[in-house]
Amino acid sequence: MGSRANGVAGDRTGTSNGGGATVDKGVDFANYFCTYAFLFHQKEMLSDRVRMDAYFNAIFQNKHHFLEKTVLDVGTGSGILAIWSAQAGARKVYAVEATKMAEHARELVKANKLEGVVEVIEGSMEDVTLPEKVDVIISEWMGYFLLRESMFDSVICARDRWLKPTGVMYPSHARMWLAPIRSGLGDQKMNDYEGAMDDWFCFSNETQTYYGVDMSVLTKPYSEEQKKYYLQTSLWNNLHPNQVIGTGAIIKEMDCLTATVNDILNVRASISSSITAENTRFCGFGGWFDVHFRGCKENPAQQEIELTTAPSEDNSTHWGQQVFLLHPPLRVREGDGLIINFSMNRSEENHRLMEVDLSCEIRQSSGNNFPPFKNKFYIE
Ligand SMILES: C[S@@+](CC[C@H](N)C(=O)[O-])C[C@H]1O[C@@H](n2cnc3c(N)ncnc32)[C@H](O)[C@@H]1O
């Protein structure tokens, strides 16, 4: 199929977000896709050695999946995964990209003398028609804490329309993890919040003194707004492994060959964790993900590859971890048990952002228990 003019930015047609609600494509493009049109953003991903090594090894150590095969790269960006697929021997690679980055990808493909194999298609995956079904779908769709950005919906759509029944997904599996952590970020964010409120009270007093308007009725909504921003919004952080103070637990496992949008609209888990650090502050939770390249049952990988975004001293990624802070932190000891209920839904205002409800009960090894707590967080 030939390349298409970008019909996305001005296209106001609604599509479903998988949950039944309608998504305005123009708004979605302005809020989400536009950042991917910058080489600066693509370079950030291309500079992530953990990410790059994992995809590179997955492809080149499993050439049997690519040799003489047809490949679809969902969200090709700069074209890197499509180029590697072609270099690994693919017969044909369809490289679909929603943004103008497709033009750079086309140039890169040409400069690497692969234009006979890789066809860059500018358009939204949901709207693209391919001339044939493919043997492999490759995509780097993972957002913060795996599901932010909701790009896996587009991969599911591509899979259900274009993957042969014998086809393979790259990556093939994904998991989300949660663990208790210690961190100085909580104190910092509480100081920021208190500073913002002090500033509000100065502003409110001055407005009364100089302009004769009593602003105090807005104190509560301002405080709620600032609380949401400073205390309830999860934070990007590269945690050191010694900040993880208890056992990590899996909150979601997905087989990319069979997962449906319904499976990821609401992620719920009841998990437990034990504190492994001696006597420490429990400051919140760290969340991360990993994906695996295992091929499929009928056509397994020769070399299974893992891409993990777990806290690491040497192998951090641009995804880092998402940190959900507790205010105030609690003192815990080795052997204390945590019973955690986790629920994550898409934000109603923006289906690419998430809302998390986390409740936790702490069973102290001493026999005393803290009262259970429940917090709401926003992954923005
Ligand atoms: C995380 S980047 C990965 C880029 C590239 N594959 C890589 O690994 O470096 C995701 C890319 O997918 C594109 N994308 C996201 N959803 C898409 C869709 N529904 N149709 C086409 N492209 C999409 C984005 O514009 C972005 O360039």
Query: What local confidence, expressed as pLDDT, does residue 34 receive?
Result: 85
pTM, 2 dp: 0.92
> Residue 142 CA: which ligand 1 atom is closest?
1
Query: What local confidence, expressed as pLDDT, does residue 17 receive?
Result: 54
Q: How far is the CA of 285 from the centre of ligand 1 (A)?
A: 29
For residue 216, how many C-alpha atoms fall within 13 Å in the half-sphere facing its CB? 5
| Minimum CA distance residue for ligand 1 atom 23 | 75
| Average pLDDT by stretches of 10, the chain with 380 residues | 28 45 75 89 96 98 98 98 98 97 98 98 97 98 97 97 98 98 97 98 98 98 98 97 98 98 96 96 98 97 98 97 96 96 95 96 87 94
> Residue 33 CA: which ligand 1 atom is closest?
25
> Residue 128 CA: which ligand 1 atom is closest?
20
Query: What local confidence, expressed as pLDDT, does residue 174 receive?
Result: 98
Query: What local confidence, expressed as pLDDT, does residue 368 receive?
Result: 81
> Residue 99 CA: which ligand 1 atom is closest?
25
Q: Ligand 1, from 28, 151, 318: best to mutate by most atoms within 8 Å of Cβ?
A: 151
Q: How far is the CA of 170 from the centre of ligand 1 (A)?
A: 14
Query: What local confidence, expressed as pLDDT, does residue 2 receive?
Result: 30
Give catalytic residues, as residue numbers: 140, 149
Domains of the chain: 14-140 (3.40.50.150), 176-182+235-379 (2.70.160.11)
First to last CA, the chain: 37
- The answer, yes or no, to whether the previous bond of 300 is cis (omega within 30 of 0) is no
| Minimum CA distance residue for ligand 1 atom 13 | 75
41: left (phi over 0), alpha (psi -120 to 50) or beta: alpha
Q: How far is the CA of 77 from the centre of ligand 1 (A)?
A: 5
| Minimum CA distance residue for ligand 1 atom 8 | 140
How far, in Å, CA of 37 to CA of 61, rounded? 30
